């Protein structure tokens, strides 16, 4: 790879030396790619003023060449061969914004082998192949940057890897999928059930025609995987995440949670414990007074608890072309500020140097211990006593127990907030409730997350 | 300065090469200094795993040596001569956490002249002498890092200088003083007046015995100065900030704002306009549904609007020993990751390279144009008509006008929300109101900030 001698010799001058622009090859010119191209062009003076040099897209690979030509205009060579861009001698950095995992993995590994830095917004790629990609990057001394893969415009990877380096991170909790947060906000604000809220999200373009990745929690799990690795210095391991989406969430529970002073959010949670790391994506009750409860619509937020910093939170858009481009370009500026020195890999890919990575294991579901919300349909209001007796018999400590005020037409419902209890105890109690003559239908359980300091 | 040849040759290896620790000299071992010392010791393995090398305090200057010895223990040389530490050949970085401006300026400039990097949490020093200090640092090729000077544990300098580099920043708005936010939260939650809330803050240790710096907005103005410079690439100019504290804020206005659906926060606002930059610190009404309205107690938050990113927000503790240490140590890790290469000044001190700095002028108060809240005491409720007529006569467009529901014992009060209007128009209208026979007492005005995308 070309190393800029001017930058190597005078990186400290802060004067307008004529530095060669950083040359970018881009694979994919869809939503994120076109946003990146547009923002780089619009803010080029400002970006160069910050980076100390220009950043230029010199080559683009796209499937639909006429469409791509309409976006990038004259003067930028186009190809339909991504590998041509990934390995081209004229590029310093590959921006991979095509998505997908198989071919993207090949392009990224080829670029790394050719000494190119890589910037990607592809969370699935890194969640599944991150270990292999980061190892290759380390061997070849290049950066693989992925701020746009985690929380759109929010610089949370930077916060974890650089801003909070003093801390032993205790937990990270995030609303990290804009589509599901939009749907949950609609369910609450307008009393819609899940299907109606999803349809509205699709009509407004907040949800894909095939929304499975979002509503089943997979997208959030991909992002959580990267957050957890950076927080704890653990390997990227998507397969270990307990994933639960919002497809079975009922409007009744949104309303009943409200009655108890909570809102339901799809949270990605990574928590370090003595025995290992909890990694889970699930709809959970958050206190209505908590800042996370006020993250509405398609917005995202990530909360981090460090032992020195205390709680910090990072909030921003959960989707969007230029919003994601903001993160992609920030990564390019990071590379531009160092490419040409021997320190391009200044920050380890996952925050910690390889020798300091931890092998903390992911904990199984049964080991997770939180408070729970239970909604128990009963035949008559008086049977709240029977529910209480049964929970006491299973040593599930109860914090609060009331009858649902909402939707009386559905019959009496006992709402329970438990104290923190192991999942195994909750499961046994729910089995027993389900078998009890007092209980008139399926018992619903959701976790309660205090997200307190 | 010593340059580590191992690091220079193999910064990319990510393997446990035996790298010399970064050697820190510290001036001041008070709240922030002792927190920094404690966290560095407690989390040393984790910090070294991230930085790629250890970070060691090798020397401390303090006024009270016995007290200092009680904190740092055996093995760390102490001196009562700060200049001895600032210029000592055995240190790589000076951590200045003593505070004050005159002597601190001398120590920092001496350290820079001796080729030391500087990390400081001293906002007053940088707000007043930043231009001189950053120029010297550029000439000597060293870093001057100051994350701990702006928003305690929140990595907002990093977000502005590195995370949002793609953007043309439109505005920054922050709750950046923990003491005043604590007082305002008390006034609202408990209906206290300012004096009572201040006394409670002092009793709980949230306010100094002499709280002037906080409650008069000076501390927030120092921080705003640094935020604005990093957002817009403008010089540090504390003298240009319009500063208004909360000392004259009345409980009645907190209650009346609530009636209108707003909360009062002390905001530091920097907004870029065609003609220049607004720089102001003032108590202002924020919509009660806005996330910033839910930043309570001694917490801080900064909201940034970028043209690509949209709105992002950063939230965390507004005070605290280890909370500030978190930022100081993050700066040390940044230095550790690059010291020994020729790129220690990777990121320009104020985000932009010197040649790309802008000379956008600060706008005068009269040019600021926002919505306003007015509370107008009148002799009888019917005189709301007279107030309306007078405002119309002065071409102040009114959004909403109602009678105060709160504190009827104070007599009828007309509450007005105006549409955005130039300050000059508001001033004239208030003068006229004050002279009107309908008006029974002093008219109160406060800005309204929508903080919308």
Q: Work out the angle between the directed axes of helices A31-42 and A65-72 (0-180°, nearest 10).
A: 20
Out of B15, B320, B352, name the one closest to residue A354 (CB). B15
**Contacts for B372 with CB less than 8 Å, ≥ 6 apart:** B416, B417, B418, B421, B426, B445, B446, B447, B448
Spatial neighbors of A211 by CB under 8 A, at least 6 apart, are: A179, A198, A201, A202
Cβ neighbours of residue B204 closer than 8 Å, sequence gap 6 or more: none
Interface test with chain A among B9, B166, B317, by most A beta carbons within 10 Å:
B166
Q: Which tens digits make up the pLDDT trace of A13-59?
A: 443 445 799 999 999 999 999 999 999 999 999 999 999 999 999 99
Place of tokens 């403008």: B234
pLDDT over 90, % of chain A: 85
The verdict on a CB contact (< 8 Å) between A307 and B42 is: yes
Chain B CB contacts of A31 below 8 Å = none
Q: pLDDT tens, B311-346?
A: 999 999 999 999 999 999 999 999 999 877 666 678
DSSP tag of A381:
G
Distance from CA of A185 to the nearest CA of B (A): 14
Summary mean pLDDT of chain A: 92
| Residue of chain A whose Cα is closest to the Cα of B141 | A12
Optimal mutation site among A1, A4, A8, A14, interface B, most CBs of chain B within 10 A: A14
β-bridge pairing A444-448 and A276-287: parallel
Find the helix or strand (DSSP H, E) in which A305 lies.
strand A299-306
State the ipTM, two decimals. 0.94
Domain B5-152+322-356 belongs in CATH node 3.40.50.720? yes
**Cβ A316 vs Cβ B453: under 8 Å:** no
Q: Which residue has the tokens 């970070």?
A: B55
Does A52 show up as a binding residue in the annotation? no
Smallest CA–CA separation between A235 and chain B, in Å?
14
List, for residues A339-386, the tens digit of each pLDDT value.
776 666 789 999 999 888 888 899 999 889 999 999 999 999 999 999
Q: What is the per-residue pLDDT for A341?
A: 67
- A30 labelled as ligand-binding? yes
Burial status of residue B305 (CB atoms within 10 A of its CB: 0-12, 13-18, 19 or more): buried
Q: Could you tell me if B34 and B71 are in contact, meaning their C-beta atoms sit under 8 angstroms apart?
A: yes
Matching fold, domains A162-318 and A365-448? no
Are the Cβ atoms of B48 and A356 closer than 8 angstroms?
A: yes
Question: Which tens digits make up the pLDDT trace of B72-94?
Answer: 998 899 999 999 999 999 999 99
User: Annotation-wise, does A156 bind a ligand?
Assistant: no
Determine the average pLDDT of the residues in B404-408. Answer: 80
A31 is in an annotated binding site: yes
Instruction: Report the residue count for chain B.
Output: 453
From CA B105, how far away is CA B222, in angstroms rounded?
16
CATH of region A162-318: 3.30.360.10
Which of B329, B323, B5, B336 lies closest to B143 in space, CA to CA? B336
Our answer to whether residue A223 is catalytic in this structure is yes
Class of the CATH domain delimited by A365-448? alpha beta
- A132: pLDDT strictly greater than 50: yes
B14, B141, B308 member nearest A39 (Cβ): B308
C-beta neighbour count of A10 within 10 angstroms: 14
Residues of chain B with C-beta less than 8 angstroms from the C-beta of A356: 45-46, 48-50
When the candidates are 3.20.20.140, 3.30.365.10, 3.30.70.260, 3.40.50.2000, the CATH number that belongs to B368-448 is: 3.30.70.260
Question: What residues does each domain of chain B span?
Answer: 5-152+322-356, 156-318, 368-448
pTM given for the model: 0.94
The lowest-confidence range among A180-194, A221-235, B351-365, B421-435 is B351-365
Active-site residue among B116, B158, B223, B265? Answer: B223
φ and ψ at A128, to 5 degrees? -95, -35
Query: pLDDT value at position A19?
Result: 78
Q: Phi and psi of B132, rounded to 5°?
A: -65, -45
What does the pLDDT average to over B446-450? 96
Q: Which CATH superfamily groups domain B156-318?
A: Dihydrodipicolinate Reductase; domain 2 (3.30.360.10)
Q: Which two tokens stand for residue A17?
A: 């030396």
Beta-carbon separation of B16 and A353 below 8 A: yes
């Amino acid at each position: 790879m070309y190393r800029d001698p001017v930058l190597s010799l005078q990186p400290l001058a802060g004067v307008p030396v004529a530095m060669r622009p950083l040359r970018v090859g881009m694979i994919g010119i869809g939503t994120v790619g076109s946003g990146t191209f547009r923002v780089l062009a619009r803010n080029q003076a400002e970006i160069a003023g910050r980076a100390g040099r220009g950043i230029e897209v010199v080559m683009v690979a796209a499937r639909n060449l006429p469409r791509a030509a309409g976006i990038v205009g004259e003067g930028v060579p186009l190809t339909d061969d991504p590998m041509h861009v990934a390995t081209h001698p004229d590029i310093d950095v590959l921006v991979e914004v095509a998505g997908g995992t198989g071919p993207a993995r090949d392009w990224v590994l080829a670029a790394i082998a050719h000494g190119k830095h890589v910037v990607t917004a592809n969370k699935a790629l890194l969640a599944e192949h991150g270990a292999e990609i980061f190892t290759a990057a380390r061997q070849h001394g290049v950066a693989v940057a992925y701020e746009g893969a985690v929380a759109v415009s929010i610089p949370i990877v930077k916060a974890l890897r650089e801003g909070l380096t003093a801390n032993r991170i205790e937990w990270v909790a995030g609303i990290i999928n804009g589509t599901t947060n939009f749907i949950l906000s609609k369910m609450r604000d307008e009393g819609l059930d899940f299907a109606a809220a999803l349809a509205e999200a699709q009509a407004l373009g907040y949800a894909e025609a095939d929304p499975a990745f979002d509503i089943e929690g997979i997208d959030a799990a991909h992002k959580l995987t990267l957050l957890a690795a950076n927080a704890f210095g653990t390997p990227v391991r998507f397969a270990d995440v307990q994933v639960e989406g919002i497809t079975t969430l009922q409007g009744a529970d949104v309303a009943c949670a409200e009655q108890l002073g909570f809102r339901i959010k799809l949270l990605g949670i990574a928590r370090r414990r003595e025995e290992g790391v909890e990694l889970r994506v699930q709809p959970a009750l958050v206190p209505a007074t908590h800042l996370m409860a006020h993250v509405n619509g398609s917005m995202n937020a990530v909360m981090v608890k460090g032992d020195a910093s205390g709680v910090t939170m990072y909030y921003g858009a959960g989707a969007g072309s230029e919003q994601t481009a903001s993160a992609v370009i920030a990564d390019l500026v990071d590379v531009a500020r160092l490419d040409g020195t021997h320190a391009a890999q200044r920050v380890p890919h996952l925050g910690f140097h390889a020798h300091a990575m931890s092998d903390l294991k992911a904990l199984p579901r049964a080991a997770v211990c939180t408070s729970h919300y239970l909604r128990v349909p009963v035949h008559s209001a008086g049977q709240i006593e029977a529910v209480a007796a049964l929970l006491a018999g299973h040593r599930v400590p109860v914090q609060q127990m009331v009858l649902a005020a909402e939707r009386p037409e559905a019959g009496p419902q006992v709402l329970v907030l438990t104290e923190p209890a192991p999942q195994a105890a909750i499961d046994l109690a729910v089995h027993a409730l389900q078998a009890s003559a007092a209980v008139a239908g399926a018992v619903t359980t959701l976790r309660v997350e205090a997200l307190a300091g």
